[in-house]
Amino acid sequence: MATPTDIKLQQKSRQLVVTFDTGEVFELPCEYLRVYSQSAEVTGHAPGQEVLQVGKRNVNIEGITPVGNYGVKLHFDDGHDTGIYTWERLYELGQHYDDYWQDYLQRLQKAGHKHPDMPPTDLSELL
């Protein structure tokens, strides 16, 4: 299992930069971490009960609390601070960022929400 050797919060750019002992460095946006929280508020209590997180574009992390030797708790400025980000989960989120982010954008679009990272859906959005 990969273990972080350094975790830096860059509040100005709203990113958590995690360096692992594998040499990999992941720059994880706060919004991404917030919408992929492992908390029951986001994942639900059973499969199929997931709650799509909307309006988290400008969310930031106010603080980080270590949890044993296996993870951290992230304290977001929207009041969310439940769910533990294990080293395994942070590594997974880093490795699969592109796929997970596209999946999130697709779920937002399917639910009728817009996000600046979505490609335009028609010509009028380009004008």
Beta bridge partners of 20: 4
Domains of the chain: 4-125 (3.30.2020.30)
Task: Determine the average pLDDT of the residues in 52-76.
Answer: 96
Confidence (pLDDT) at 121: 67
Confidence (pLDDT) at 118: 86
Q: In what order do the strands lie in the sheet with 4-10?
A: 4-10, 15-20, 25-29
Tell me if 55 sits within 8 A of 101, measured CB to CB: no
Estimate to the nearest angstrom the gap between the alpha carbon of 35 and the chain centroid.
Answer: 5
Angstrom distance (rounded) from CA 28 to CA 71: 15
Question: How do residues 91-112 score in pLDDT, each as one tens digit?
Answer: 999 999 999 999 999 999 999 9
Angstrom distance (rounded) from CA 85 to CA 5: 15
